[in-house]
Amino acid sequence: MEHRKLRFALLGNIYQARKSASIQKVLSTIANYGAELYVDMEYYYFLKDHQRLDVKATKVFSDNNFDADFVISMGGDGTFLKAACRVGKKNIPILGVNMGRLGFLADISPDDIEHCLRALYNDDYAVESRALIQVEADGAPLGECSYALNDVAILKRDTASMISIRASVNGQYLNTYQADGLVISTPTGSTAYSLSNGGPIIVPGTKVFSMTAVAPHSLNVRPIVLADSSVIELDVESRSHNFLVAIDGRSEKCKEGTRIVLRRAPYDIKVVKRSDHRYFNTLREKMMWGADTR
């Protein structure tokens, strides 16, 4: 049966050296469909030189110089976040193939890739729009990729004393957090760093952000949920006179006095999900709700 021509851009984790069989299955399935395959250069040479795989790539690309109908992220949720950063405003849906443990973003196993590709060709899939947080430092974008799909964390550096974070929302003073840090999370990232600090689980698609303190000095400090139309301004004081801003784990060092402004990004990231995907099923499995460990 002849299929319409689709273009796939492949990005992956180069540190998963024992996954060659799973990767080969994905490559073979794509080849069987006669699809055009564009492969990230670093990942391409990893597959060719380290995995000794026969990669029939239509094109090898570097940086963010690619276009495709779909991006396939080979790895875990961390790899997916990097892929989202590189996709940026391209509006290309991302399919996350999980090469390790069950993920929230990368939730397709290599064994399911043939079924998933068939679903893509049959238009039997869903695309979810996920909001991002845009980060500015003193009015300028922070770092090479100033957008977070999961979260933005304001953190103390190394063994420094806790920092003081003055937070305002839409120009109104909210609170001064005395803590090791502050996590501002999207619904997508609510099950990541925010959750480990006691933040709420937020169902994707809910139009909110959450703010959760990291090891706050006062036990009275609790997470707060804000409309994602809010503009959050943060001013940080630190004994070491500097602090870190982690954007989906990508750390940027900032000097004390730098004003950090967070708002919803002007574009979303598109995530490919199976038509039978149920978020609560993934949530129960990942959180081991109802599991009897006795």
Rg from Cα positions in the chain: 20
Instruction: Please tell me whether 194 is known to bind a ligand.
Output: yes
Q: Cα–Cα distance between 149 and 293 in angstroms, integer?
A: 33
Q: What is the pLDDT of residue 17?
A: 64
Q: Cα–Cα distance between 172 and 217 in angstroms, integer?
A: 23
DSSP state at residue 205 = T
Instruction: Please tell me whether 238 is known to bind a ligand.
Output: no
Domain boundaries, the chain: 7-125+274-287, 132-266
Of 101, 129, 97, nearest in space to 114 by CA: 97
Instruction: Please tell me whether 192 is known to bind a ligand.
Output: yes
Contact indicator for 195, 201 with CB cutoff of 8 Å:
yes
Q: Which fold has domain 132-266?
A: Tumour Suppressor Smad4 (2.60.200)
Q: What is the pLDDT of residue 262?
A: 98
Contact indicator for 73, 106 with CB cutoff of 8 Å:
yes
Assigned CATH for 7-125+274-287: 3.40.50.10330
Q: Is 112 one of the annotated active-site residues of the chain? A: no
* Type and span of the H or E element at 178: strand 172-179
Q: What is the pTM of this model?
A: 0.92
Q: Where are the alpha helices (DSSP H) in the chain?
A: 20-32, 41-45, 77-87, 113-121, 193-196, 279-287
Residue 290 region, left (φ>0) first, then alpha (ψ -120 to 50), else beta? left
DSSP state at residue 108 = B
- Tokens linked to 53: 């795989």
Instruction: Please tell me whether 196 is known to bind a ligand.
Output: yes
Instruction: Please tell me whether 193 is known to bind a ligand.
Output: yes
Neighbouring C-beta atoms of residue 33, cutoff 10 Å: 17
> Residue type at 166?
R
- CA angle, residues 87, 89, 90, in degrees to nearest 5: 60
| Marked catalytic residue, from 40, 54, 77, 235 | 77
Q: Where are the alpha helices (DSSP H) in 66-192?
A: 77-87, 113-121
Instruction: Please tell me whether 149 is known to bind a ligand.
Output: no
Instruction: Please tell me whether 150 is known to bind a ligand.
Output: yes
Q: Cα–Cα distance between 72 and 112 in angstroms, integer?
A: 13
Per-block average pLDDT, block size 10, for the chain (294 residues)?
A: 81 79 87 94 93 92 95 94 96 92 82 90 94 97 96 89 96 97 98 96 96 94 97 95 95 95 98 88 85 72
Q: Cα–Cα distance between 255 and 205 in angstroms, integer?
A: 34
Contact indicator for 177, 221 with CB cutoff of 8 Å:
yes
Of 126, 113, 111, 129, nearest in space to 35 by CA: 113
